[in-house]
Amino acid sequence: MKCLAPVFRYSRAALAGLSMAGSLMIGCISSANAAMVSITDPAVRAVPPTSTNTAAFMTLQNKGKDDIKLVGVDSSIAARVEIHGHRHEGHKMVMFKMDDLPLPAGKEVRLESGGYHIMIMGLKKTLKEGEEVPLTLHFSDSDAIDILAPVKPLMETMSKDPHGHMHH
């Protein structure tokens, strides 16, 4: 079964208890392209306890022959997770919410500080360095990949609270 593949995949059933086993099986069977996207170097930026927002970074590689898109991300540790990009507006960089992130066939797309990122908003708890954050990435081919992204101290290239006034 393809759903047992890559390193960062883990069983949702193991995480959530056996009651999830049924839906996990359905997810695997219906997912024809289960290993099309490989995810490397996932990380979540460590933030002070006063901050309720952070961001996740990683490299996504579409190993398939078809262009697909990252269409959504969710996590049990936050109220809301969005796909964000950055663009220049005058002299400053501002973030914007993206409906999806295109992943061209055979290409690698980097999510990094100051570029595309996964915005994690409304943290339900303080993240400790080294802790692993569960994220589920949803793709346009209806595949979903679960990863664990370790919390790391990452260089802050944006303003102190880059997202504070941007979100409702």
Instruction: Label residue 14 exposed, middle or buried (CB < 10 Å: 0-12, 13-18, 19+).
Output: exposed
- Give the rounded distance of the alpha carbon of 152 from its chain centre: 15
Distance spanning both ends of the chain, measured CA to CA: 42
Element (H, E) at 15: helix 12-16
For residue 104, give the nearest of 64, 134, 136, 138 by alpha carbon.
64
**One residue of 119, 120, 127, 135 binding Cu ion per CB under 5 A:** 119
* Residue 35 CB neighbour total at 10 angstroms: 16
How far apart are CB 77 and Cu ion at their closest, in Å?
16
If the CB atoms of residues 67 and 161 are measured against Cu ion, the closer one turns out to be: 161
If the CB atoms of residues 11 and 51 are measured against Cu ion, the closer one turns out to be: 51
How far apart are CB 20 and Cu ion at their closest, in Å?
29
If the CB atoms of residues 34 and 43 are measured against Cu ion, the closer one turns out to be: 43
- Tokens found for residue 8: 């960062």
Applying CB under 5 A, the span of 11-19, 26-34, 56-64, 111-119 interacting with Cu ion comes to: 111-119
Please check whether residue 70 is in contact with residue 36, taking contact to mean a CB–CB distance below 8 angstroms: no
What distance in Å separates the CA atoms of residue 35 and residue 143, rounded to the nearest whole number? Answer: 9
If the CB atoms of residues 44 and 95 are measured against Cu ion, the closer one turns out to be: 95
If the CB atoms of residues 35 and 98 are measured against Cu ion, the closer one turns out to be: 98
User: According to CB under 5 A, which residues from 77 to 106 bind Cu ion?
Assistant: 84, 95
Site string for Cu ion, 135-164 (x = CB under 5 A): ------------------------------
| Interaction of residue 45 with Cu ion, rule CB under 5 A | no
In the complex, the residues that contact Cu ion under the rule CB under 5 A are 84, 95, 119
